[in-house]
A and B are shown apart, each in its own frame.
Chain A
Amino acid sequence: MNIYDQISSNKRRTVLLVFVFFTLIIFIGLIIGLYYGNNYFGIILAIIVGTIYFLFSYYGGANAILTMTRAKEATKPEYTHLINTVEGLSIAAGLPKVPKVYVIEDEALNAFATGRDPDHASVTVTTGLLNKLNRLELEGVIAHELSHIKNYDIRVMMLTSVMVGVTVLLSDFLLRSFLWGGKGDKKEQNQLTFILIIAGLVLAILSPIIAQMMQLAVSRKREFLADASGALLTRYPKGLADALRKIKHDPDPLVDTANKATAHLFISTPFRHNGKKSTWFQDLFSTHPNIDERIKRLDEM
């Protein structure tokens, strides 16, 4: 699979994601409506909430993420080296525009890219990363992030967070409705409504889990691809491999400003790990592929 296949697959996936997202929330809306005794109320509510949420996240999601992680725009004398690195690798990647560069004041070693397309994108690194990595390692990390931008991974990843967010929100609302009771006349409920309510209850419980799994599957495969195309940019896979080794042995991987919604954006999982080998069950719920596996693949290039 070359990069152009990857880009079109990402664009198809985005459309599919939006479609699944709207189907899901319309269904949730339908059940909410049935429960309250008015079919249209729920569907209309879901479509309005979904559309507003979708538009806000599509156009403002990247800024929200940057604000949430308390990233500050990198400026010239202080971060000249970082900005030069991003500019140089953007040329190598043939990006239409140099992404904006941000830094997070944090000693942890981490980085992420976000935005809706290569024209509206940004790269963020922690100050710890700048202090502890050498030039070649930093280039490896930046090239990895720019590959996410070039492949349109950033759009899929941003919209995935959105979808996970709103699904959790709506199913939470649904669950609460069941728990606290609705206004509908319960005597009029027929068997169909009953079945729908059971289905809704199952959905309310399952949908956050399903959404979560989708987010994980989507982001893990992407990391390998970005590693490979990043190595193609620097022509030096060892740079990124060394950087990942340093990240692995980082005693404090916690980015204080990261949370569950933004975790999958980072180059390496921003939460605490205890250095032990992870089990398959942990791997299933991890936002990132096993770091040893990534280093191994880079070393073999």
Chain B
Amino acid sequence: MASWIIFAIIAVVVLFIIYIYNSLIRLRMRVNNAWSQIDVQLKRRFDLIPNLINSVKGYMKHEKGVLEEVTKARTSLMSGSMKDKAKASNQITDALKSIFAVAENYPQLKANENFKMLQEELSGTESKIAYARQFYNDSVMSYNESIQVFPKNLFAKLFGFQGKEFFEADKKERDNVKVDF
């Protein structure tokens, strides 16, 4: 009889550990999956930028500086750590904003079908990057939280689950979200 009770206790403990392990794995997979979503969108924007540069080059002769800035940020985007990528991504966002702002001064460019299409595509990609980042940061938050709360933290340590880094927006952008009362 006693051996049966011990057996049952062991079985429950094992099932509990399996459950915790699986839930940690699932959360970590969600983080990785969310990261690849960001990467897909960053890549998409990376591919669209040369087309944009080509279509505006002829018009914007006096704004070489802005174009160079985009090109430079673009090259640094595809290499480096997550922090570097986040920084480069924000630089591109700002540079693209100024290109589109400058484009307002060129009615011919604004009427160009190709440019209009690129603008729609790029602003769509821009917001997808923002959404992917939001989903990634949400996933990281729930993952980091779950490996820190008791008793999951014991097993997280045992199985070698490590915390993940947030894909940070820079300071300026975060201030923009502040709610106005």
Residues of A within 8 A of B (CB): 77, 80-81, 84-85, 87-89, 91-94, 235
Contact = CB atoms under 8 A, between A and B. Distances in A.
Contact of B128 (A80, A87, A235): A87
In this complex, the interface size class of chain B, counting residues with CB under 8 Å from chain A, is 10 to 19
A155 to B, nearest CB: 21
B120 A89 contact: no
A84 B124 contact: yes
B39 to A, nearest CB: 12
A25 to B, nearest CB: 38
Contacts of A81: 120, 124
B37 interface: yes
Contacts of B139: 94
B127 interface: yes
Main secondary structure of the interface of B (DSSP, over half): helix
A88 B177 contact: no
B82 to A, nearest CB: 18
A81 B134 CA distance: 20
A88 B124 contact: yes
Given A84-B120, A235-B134, A94 B128 contact: no
B131 A88 contact: yes
A84 B121 CA distance: 8
B132 A91 contact: yes
A235 B138 CA distance: 12
Contacts of B135: 91-94
Interface string B157-181: 0000000000000000000010000
A151 B130 CA distance: 22
B124 A87 contact: yes
Contacts of A235: 134, 177
Contacts of A84: 120-121, 124, 127-128
Contacts of B88: none
B30 interface: yes
Nearest to A77: B117
A91 B132 CA distance: 6
16 contacts: A77-B117, A80-B120, A80-B121, A80-B124, A84-B120, A84-B124, A84-B127, A85-B127, A88-B127, A88-B131, A91-B41, A91-B131, A92-B131, A92-B134, A93-B135, A94-B135
